[in-house]
Protein backbone atom coordinates (compact mmCIF):
# COMPACT_ATOMS: atom_id res chain seq x y z
CA UNK A 1 0.00 0.00 0.00
CA UNK A 2 2.85 2.39 0.86
CA UNK A 3 4.50 1.81 -2.52
CA UNK A 4 1.20 2.47 -4.29
CA UNK A 5 0.75 5.76 -2.42
CA UNK A 6 4.34 6.75 -3.20
CA UNK A 7 3.75 6.13 -6.90
CA UNK A 8 0.69 8.40 -7.02
CA UNK A 9 0.76 12.03 -8.14
CA UNK A 10 -1.76 14.86 -8.04
CA UNK A 11 -2.09 17.17 -11.01
CA UNK A 12 -3.89 19.83 -8.91
CA UNK A 13 -2.87 19.20 -5.27
CA UNK A 14 -4.17 22.63 -4.20
CA UNK A 15 -7.74 21.33 -4.68
CA UNK A 16 -7.32 19.12 -1.58
CA UNK A 17 -8.11 22.17 0.56
CA UNK A 18 -11.74 21.90 -0.54
CA UNK A 19 -12.05 18.62 1.39
CA UNK A 20 -12.09 20.69 4.57
CA UNK A 21 -15.28 22.39 3.38
CA UNK A 22 -17.25 19.15 3.03
CA UNK A 23 -18.33 18.88 6.72
CA UNK A 24 -19.42 22.52 6.64
CA UNK A 25 -21.43 22.03 3.44
CA UNK A 26 -23.13 18.87 4.75
CA UNK A 27 -23.90 20.52 8.08
CA UNK A 28 -25.30 23.63 6.39
CA UNK A 29 -27.48 21.52 4.09
CA UNK A 30 -29.20 19.77 6.96
CA UNK A 31 -29.51 22.91 9.02
CA UNK A 32 -31.31 24.41 6.02
CA UNK A 33 -33.55 21.32 5.79
CA UNK A 34 -34.54 21.65 9.45
CA UNK A 35 -35.18 25.35 9.01
CA UNK A 36 -37.53 24.67 6.11
CA UNK A 37 -39.37 22.03 8.15
CA UNK A 38 -39.87 24.50 10.95
CA UNK A 39 -41.12 27.12 8.48
CA UNK A 40 -43.73 24.68 7.13
CA UNK A 41 -44.93 23.94 10.66
CA UNK A 42 -45.23 27.61 11.50
CA UNK A 43 -47.14 28.42 8.30
CA UNK A 44 -49.69 25.62 8.33
CA UNK A 45 -49.81 24.86 12.03
CA UNK A 46 -52.12 21.86 11.61
CA UNK A 47 -50.51 18.59 12.82
CA UNK A 48 -52.87 16.48 10.69
CA UNK A 49 -52.02 18.42 7.54
CA UNK A 50 -48.28 18.23 8.20
CA UNK A 51 -48.50 14.49 8.95
CA UNK A 52 -50.24 13.92 5.63
CA UNK A 53 -48.01 15.96 3.34
CA UNK A 54 -44.67 16.11 5.17
CA UNK A 55 -43.63 12.54 6.06
CA UNK A 56 -40.91 12.21 8.72
CA UNK A 57 -37.52 10.78 7.70
CA UNK A 58 -35.78 8.66 10.39
CA UNK A 59 -32.37 9.58 11.80
CA UNK A 60 -30.71 6.51 10.25
CA UNK A 61 -31.79 7.61 6.80
CA UNK A 62 -30.61 11.16 7.45
CA UNK A 63 -27.19 9.80 8.43
CA UNK A 64 -27.09 7.66 5.26
CA UNK A 65 -27.98 10.68 3.15
CA UNK A 66 -25.29 12.76 4.85
CA UNK A 67 -22.75 10.04 4.15
CA UNK A 68 -23.80 9.86 0.47
CA UNK A 69 -23.56 13.63 0.07
CA UNK A 70 -20.12 13.63 1.70
CA UNK A 71 -18.94 10.85 -0.64
CA UNK A 72 -20.29 12.75 -3.63
CA UNK A 73 -18.43 15.92 -2.70
CA UNK A 74 -15.21 14.06 -1.76
CA UNK A 75 -15.24 12.17 -5.05
CA UNK A 76 -15.74 15.40 -6.97
CA UNK A 77 -12.87 17.15 -5.15
CA UNK A 78 -10.50 14.19 -5.63
CA UNK A 79 -11.42 13.99 -9.31
CA UNK A 80 -10.54 17.68 -9.70
CA UNK A 81 -7.15 16.91 -8.10
CA UNK A 82 -6.44 14.74 -11.18
CA UNK A 83 -4.71 11.84 -9.37
CA UNK A 84 -2.50 9.56 -11.47
CA UNK A 85 -0.32 6.56 -10.70
CA UNK A 86 3.02 5.77 -12.31
CA UNK A 87 2.77 3.08 -14.95
CA UNK A 88 6.52 2.44 -15.08
CA UNK A 89 6.97 5.45 -17.36
CA UNK A 90 8.89 8.08 -15.44
CA UNK A 91 11.05 10.03 -17.81
CA UNK A 92 14.02 12.33 -17.59
CA UNK A 93 13.71 15.84 -19.02
CA UNK A 94 13.98 15.56 -22.79
CA UNK A 95 17.46 15.87 -24.29
CA UNK A 96 19.30 17.17 -21.19
CA UNK A 97 21.00 14.12 -19.67
CA UNK A 98 23.87 11.87 -20.74
CA UNK A 99 24.01 8.53 -18.91
CA UNK A 100 26.84 6.02 -19.10
CA UNK A 101 26.30 2.57 -17.65
CA UNK A 102 29.52 0.99 -16.37
CA UNK A 103 28.94 -2.75 -16.09
CA UNK A 104 31.20 -5.44 -14.64
CA UNK A 105 31.28 -8.47 -16.98
CA UNK A 106 33.95 -10.47 -15.19
CA UNK A 107 33.41 -14.15 -14.33
CA UNK A 108 31.97 -13.35 -10.89
CA UNK A 109 28.98 -11.73 -12.60
CA UNK A 110 27.90 -15.20 -13.77
CA UNK A 111 26.87 -16.23 -10.23
CA UNK A 112 23.08 -16.88 -10.33
CA UNK A 113 22.17 -14.96 -7.17
CA UNK A 114 18.86 -13.84 -8.72
CA UNK A 115 17.63 -17.19 -9.99
CA UNK A 116 13.82 -17.23 -10.10
CA UNK A 117 13.47 -13.46 -9.71
CA UNK A 118 13.73 -12.35 -13.33
CA UNK A 119 11.53 -12.86 -16.41
CA UNK A 120 12.69 -14.23 -19.74
CA UNK A 121 15.22 -13.85 -21.30
CA UNK A 122 16.97 -13.18 -17.97
CA UNK A 123 15.66 -16.28 -16.19
CA UNK A 124 19.17 -17.65 -15.47
CA UNK A 125 19.36 -15.00 -12.76
CA UNK A 126 23.04 -14.14 -13.07
CA UNK A 127 24.26 -10.89 -11.54
CA UNK A 128 24.82 -9.66 -15.07
CA UNK A 129 21.26 -10.67 -16.02
CA UNK A 130 19.96 -8.42 -13.25
CA UNK A 131 22.12 -5.54 -14.49
CA UNK A 132 20.84 -5.99 -18.05
CA UNK A 133 17.22 -6.22 -16.90
CA UNK A 134 17.49 -3.01 -14.87
CA UNK A 135 19.19 -1.19 -17.73
CA UNK A 136 16.39 -2.19 -20.09
CA UNK A 137 13.58 -1.45 -17.62
CA UNK A 138 14.80 1.56 -15.66
CA UNK A 139 17.23 3.33 -17.98
CA UNK A 140 16.43 2.62 -21.64
CA UNK A 141 12.71 2.61 -20.89
CA UNK A 142 12.83 6.18 -19.56
CA UNK A 143 15.46 7.87 -21.77
CA UNK A 144 12.97 10.25 -23.45
CA UNK A 145 15.48 11.33 -26.14
CA UNK A 146 18.33 11.52 -23.64
CA UNK A 147 21.42 9.49 -24.41
CA UNK A 148 22.95 6.34 -23.01
CA UNK A 149 26.42 4.91 -23.40
CA UNK A 150 27.67 1.53 -22.15
CA UNK A 151 31.12 0.58 -20.86
CA UNK A 152 31.86 -3.00 -19.87
CA UNK A 153 34.93 -3.99 -17.93
CA UNK A 154 36.89 -6.92 -16.66
CA UNK A 155 40.69 -6.76 -16.74
CA UNK A 156 40.28 -4.01 -19.37
CA UNK A 157 37.48 -1.57 -20.18
CA UNK A 158 35.59 -1.73 -23.46
CA UNK A 159 33.12 0.81 -24.96
CA UNK A 160 30.12 -1.33 -25.87
CA UNK A 161 28.07 1.70 -26.98
CA UNK A 162 28.89 5.37 -27.44
CA UNK A 163 26.39 7.97 -26.24
CA UNK A 164 23.24 7.51 -28.29
CA UNK A 165 19.45 7.80 -28.18
CA UNK A 166 19.04 5.03 -30.76
CA UNK A 167 16.87 2.69 -28.68
CA UNK A 168 16.91 -0.33 -31.06
CA UNK A 169 20.71 -0.25 -31.20
CA UNK A 170 21.03 0.14 -27.43
CA UNK A 171 18.64 -2.74 -26.80
CA UNK A 172 20.65 -4.96 -29.16
CA UNK A 173 23.87 -4.12 -27.30
CA UNK A 174 22.36 -4.85 -23.91
CA UNK A 175 20.68 -8.11 -24.93
CA UNK A 176 23.26 -9.52 -27.35
CA UNK A 177 26.69 -7.93 -27.04
CA UNK A 178 26.94 -7.47 -23.27
CA UNK A 179 27.79 -10.94 -21.95
CA UNK A 180 30.04 -12.44 -19.31
CA UNK A 181 33.58 -12.12 -20.66
CA UNK A 182 32.68 -9.54 -23.34
CA UNK A 183 35.47 -7.27 -22.07
CA UNK A 184 39.09 -8.49 -22.38
CA UNK A 185 41.45 -9.34 -19.57
CA UNK A 186 41.33 -10.95 -16.14
CA UNK A 187 40.02 -9.45 -12.92
CA UNK A 188 37.97 -6.27 -12.37
CA UNK A 189 39.78 -3.04 -13.17
CA UNK A 190 37.28 -0.50 -11.91
CA UNK A 191 39.61 2.46 -12.42
CA UNK A 192 40.01 1.69 -16.14
CA UNK A 193 36.23 1.46 -16.51
CA UNK A 194 35.71 4.95 -15.09
CA UNK A 195 38.46 6.41 -17.26
CA UNK A 196 36.78 4.92 -20.33
CA UNK A 197 33.49 6.53 -19.26
CA UNK A 198 35.25 9.90 -18.94
CA UNK A 199 36.57 9.50 -22.48
CA UNK A 200 33.07 8.81 -23.81
CA UNK A 201 31.81 11.98 -22.14
CA UNK A 202 34.70 13.96 -23.63
CA UNK A 203 33.94 12.67 -27.13
CA UNK A 204 30.32 13.71 -27.28
CA UNK A 205 28.71 15.38 -24.28
CA UNK A 206 27.63 19.01 -24.07
CA UNK A 207 28.73 20.99 -21.00
CA UNK A 208 25.11 21.99 -20.36
CA UNK A 209 24.01 18.36 -20.02
CA UNK A 210 23.72 16.59 -16.70
CA UNK A 211 26.16 13.67 -16.66
CA UNK A 212 25.40 10.46 -14.81
CA UNK A 213 27.41 7.26 -14.36
CA UNK A 214 25.54 4.15 -13.21
CA UNK A 215 27.88 1.45 -11.93
CA UNK A 216 26.66 -2.17 -11.82
CA UNK A 217 29.18 -4.25 -9.90
CA UNK A 218 29.63 -6.90 -7.23
CA UNK A 219 32.42 -4.81 -5.71
CA UNK A 220 35.37 -6.70 -7.18
CA UNK A 221 38.21 -4.26 -7.82
CA UNK A 222 41.85 -4.82 -8.76
CA UNK A 223 42.73 -1.16 -9.39
CA UNK A 224 45.41 0.58 -7.34
CA UNK A 225 44.32 2.95 -4.59
CA UNK A 226 46.04 5.87 -6.30
CA UNK A 227 44.07 5.22 -9.48
CA UNK A 228 40.78 5.17 -7.57
CA UNK A 229 41.71 8.44 -5.84
CA UNK A 230 42.14 10.02 -9.27
CA UNK A 231 38.73 8.67 -10.29
CA UNK A 232 37.12 10.33 -7.27
CA UNK A 233 38.80 13.64 -8.13
CA UNK A 234 37.59 13.48 -11.73
CA UNK A 235 34.03 12.71 -10.72
CA UNK A 236 33.96 15.78 -8.48
CA UNK A 237 35.76 17.99 -10.99
CA UNK A 238 33.40 17.07 -13.81
CA UNK A 239 30.31 17.28 -11.55
CA UNK A 240 29.20 13.78 -12.51
CA UNK A 241 26.39 12.11 -10.58
CA UNK A 242 27.36 8.60 -9.50
CA UNK A 243 24.82 5.85 -8.86
CA UNK A 244 26.15 2.53 -7.58
CA UNK A 245 24.17 -0.70 -7.73
CA UNK A 246 25.64 -3.49 -5.61
CA UNK A 247 24.88 -6.91 -7.12
CA UNK A 248 25.07 -10.29 -5.44
CA UNK A 249 24.75 -11.86 -2.02
CA UNK A 250 27.01 -11.15 0.94
CA UNK A 251 27.69 -14.88 1.34
CA UNK A 252 30.20 -16.59 -1.01
CA UNK A 253 28.88 -18.56 -3.99
CA UNK A 254 30.64 -20.74 -6.54
CA UNK A 255 30.64 -19.77 -10.24
CA UNK A 256 28.81 -22.29 -12.49
CA UNK A 257 30.83 -23.15 -15.58
CA UNK A 258 27.72 -23.50 -17.77
CA UNK A 259 26.91 -19.80 -17.21
CA UNK A 260 30.33 -18.54 -18.30
CA UNK A 261 31.42 -17.54 -21.80
CA UNK A 262 31.74 -20.27 -24.48
CA UNK A 263 35.54 -20.01 -24.25
CA UNK A 264 35.54 -20.58 -20.50
CA UNK A 265 33.10 -23.46 -20.89
CA UNK A 266 35.45 -25.12 -23.37
CA UNK A 267 38.49 -24.60 -21.16
CA UNK A 268 36.65 -25.95 -18.11
CA UNK A 269 34.84 -28.78 -19.84
CA UNK A 270 33.66 -31.52 -17.48
CA UNK A 271 33.61 -29.25 -14.44
CA UNK A 272 30.55 -27.94 -12.65
CA UNK A 273 32.26 -24.99 -10.96
CA UNK A 274 34.95 -22.63 -12.16
CA UNK A 275 38.34 -23.52 -10.67
CA UNK A 276 41.79 -21.98 -10.49
CA UNK A 277 44.69 -24.35 -9.76
CA UNK A 278 42.29 -27.04 -8.66
CA UNK A 279 40.37 -24.85 -6.20
CA UNK A 280 36.77 -23.75 -6.69
CA UNK A 281 36.53 -19.98 -7.01
CA UNK A 282 33.80 -18.29 -4.96
CA UNK A 283 32.47 -14.76 -5.11
CA UNK A 284 30.35 -12.49 -2.93
CA UNK A 285 29.25 -8.87 -2.86
CA UNK A 286 32.26 -6.81 -1.73
CA UNK A 287 30.13 -4.02 -0.34
CA UNK A 288 32.92 -2.17 1.47
CA UNK A 289 34.55 -1.21 -1.83
CA UNK A 290 31.34 0.23 -3.20
CA UNK A 291 30.48 2.06 0.03
CA UNK A 292 33.93 3.67 0.13
CA UNK A 293 33.42 4.90 -3.42
CA UNK A 294 29.96 6.18 -2.55
CA UNK A 295 31.17 8.07 0.53
CA UNK A 296 34.17 9.56 -1.27
CA UNK A 297 32.06 10.92 -4.15
CA UNK A 298 28.79 11.74 -2.41
CA UNK A 299 27.00 9.39 -4.79
CA UNK A 300 24.02 7.12 -4.29
CA UNK A 301 24.22 3.42 -3.43
CA UNK A 302 21.69 0.60 -3.35
CA UNK A 303 22.25 -3.06 -2.53
CA UNK A 304 20.02 -4.98 -4.90
CA UNK A 305 18.12 -7.83 -3.29
CA UNK A 306 14.84 -7.60 -5.22
CA UNK A 307 14.06 -6.13 -8.64
CA UNK A 308 12.07 -3.26 -7.15
CA UNK A 309 14.93 -2.11 -4.93
CA UNK A 310 16.29 0.08 -7.72
CA UNK A 311 14.56 2.99 -9.43
CA UNK A 312 16.75 4.98 -11.78
CA UNK A 313 14.83 8.24 -11.53
CA UNK A 314 14.51 8.22 -7.75
CA UNK A 315 18.26 7.62 -7.43
CA UNK A 316 19.29 10.67 -9.45
CA UNK A 317 20.01 13.72 -7.31
CA UNK A 318 19.59 17.39 -8.27
CA UNK A 319 17.39 16.49 -11.19
CA UNK A 320 13.76 16.99 -12.16
CA UNK A 321 11.88 14.06 -13.63
CA UNK A 322 8.69 14.01 -15.66
CA UNK A 323 5.90 11.68 -14.61
CA UNK A 324 3.77 10.27 -17.41
CA UNK A 325 0.26 9.34 -16.20
CA UNK A 326 -0.02 6.48 -18.67
CA UNK A 327 -3.14 4.34 -18.42
CA UNK A 328 -3.60 4.78 -14.67
CA UNK A 329 -5.77 7.91 -14.73
CA UNK A 330 -8.28 8.03 -11.82
CA UNK A 331 -10.29 11.09 -12.89
CA UNK A 332 -13.15 9.29 -14.74
CA UNK A 333 -13.58 6.66 -12.00
CA UNK A 334 -13.76 9.23 -9.22
CA UNK A 335 -16.22 11.31 -11.24
CA UNK A 336 -18.39 8.23 -11.82
CA UNK A 337 -18.31 7.36 -8.11
CA UNK A 338 -19.34 10.92 -7.31
CA UNK A 339 -22.35 10.66 -9.66
CA UNK A 340 -23.48 7.37 -8.06
CA UNK A 341 -23.16 8.89 -4.58
CA UNK A 342 -25.26 11.86 -5.70
CA UNK A 343 -28.00 9.57 -7.07
CA UNK A 344 -27.96 7.59 -3.81
CA UNK A 345 -28.41 10.81 -1.83
CA UNK A 346 -31.40 11.79 -4.02
CA UNK A 347 -33.05 8.36 -3.63
CA UNK A 348 -32.54 8.34 0.14
CA UNK A 349 -33.93 11.87 0.45
CA UNK A 350 -37.08 11.24 -1.60
CA UNK A 351 -38.17 7.97 -0.01
CA UNK A 352 -40.43 8.50 3.05
CA UNK A 353 -40.49 6.22 6.06
CA UNK A 354 -43.62 4.06 5.82
CA UNK A 355 -47.15 5.17 4.98
CA UNK A 356 -49.09 8.18 6.21
CA UNK A 357 -51.11 7.67 9.34
CA UNK A 358 -54.52 6.18 8.57
CA UNK A 359 -56.45 8.65 10.67
CA UNK A 360 -54.60 11.67 9.35
CA UNK A 361 -56.81 12.03 6.31
CA UNK A 362 -59.88 10.95 8.25
CA UNK A 363 -59.43 13.61 10.87
CA UNK A 364 -58.83 16.12 8.14
CA UNK A 365 -62.10 15.16 6.44
CA UNK A 366 -63.98 15.43 9.70
CA UNK A 367 -63.06 19.02 10.28
CA UNK A 368 -66.18 21.26 10.51
CA UNK A 369 -66.98 23.30 7.46
CA UNK A 370 -66.26 26.95 7.66
CA UNK A 371 -69.37 29.12 7.27
CA UNK A 372 -69.34 32.37 5.41
CA UNK A 373 -70.37 35.33 7.53
CA UNK A 374 -73.77 36.80 6.69
Q: Which residues of the chain fall below pLDDT 50? A: 317-318, 323, 325, 327, 357-358, 360-364
Among the listed residues 72, 82, 78, the one whose alpha carbon sits nearest the alpha carbon of residue 17: 78
Is 98 exposed, middle or buried, given 0-12, 13-18 or 19+ CB atoms closer than 10 A?
A: buried
Among the listed residues 11, 19, 15, 17, the one whose alpha carbon sits nearest the alpha carbon of residue 83: 11
pTM above 0.75, yes or no: no
pLDDT computed for residue 325 by the predictor = 47
Task: Please list the residue range(s) of the chain that carry CATH number 3.40.50.410.
Answer: 90-322
pLDDT computed for residue 31 by the predictor = 72
pLDDT computed for residue 371 by the predictor = 54
pLDDT computed for residue 364 by the predictor = 46
Task: Classify domain 90-322 by CATH number.
Answer: 3.40.50.410
pLDDT computed for residue 317 by the predictor = 44
Is 244 exposed, middle or buried, given 0-12, 13-18 or 19+ CB atoms closer than 10 A?
A: buried
Angle separating helix axes 287-297 and 225-237, nearest 10 degrees: 40
Cis ω on the peptide bond leading into residue 203 (within 30° of 0)?
no
Amino acid sequence: MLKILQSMHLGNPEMLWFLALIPLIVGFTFWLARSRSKTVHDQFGEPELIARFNQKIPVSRLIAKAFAVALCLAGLVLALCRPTMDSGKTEFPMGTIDVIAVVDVSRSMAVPDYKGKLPQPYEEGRRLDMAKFLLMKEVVGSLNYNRLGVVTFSGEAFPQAFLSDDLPALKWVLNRAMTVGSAPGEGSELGKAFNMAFRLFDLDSKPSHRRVIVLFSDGGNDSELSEMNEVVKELKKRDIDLIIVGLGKTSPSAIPVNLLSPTDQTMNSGRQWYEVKGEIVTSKLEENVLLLLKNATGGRYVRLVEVNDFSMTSMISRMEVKHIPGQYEFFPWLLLASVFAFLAAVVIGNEPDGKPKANAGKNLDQRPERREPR
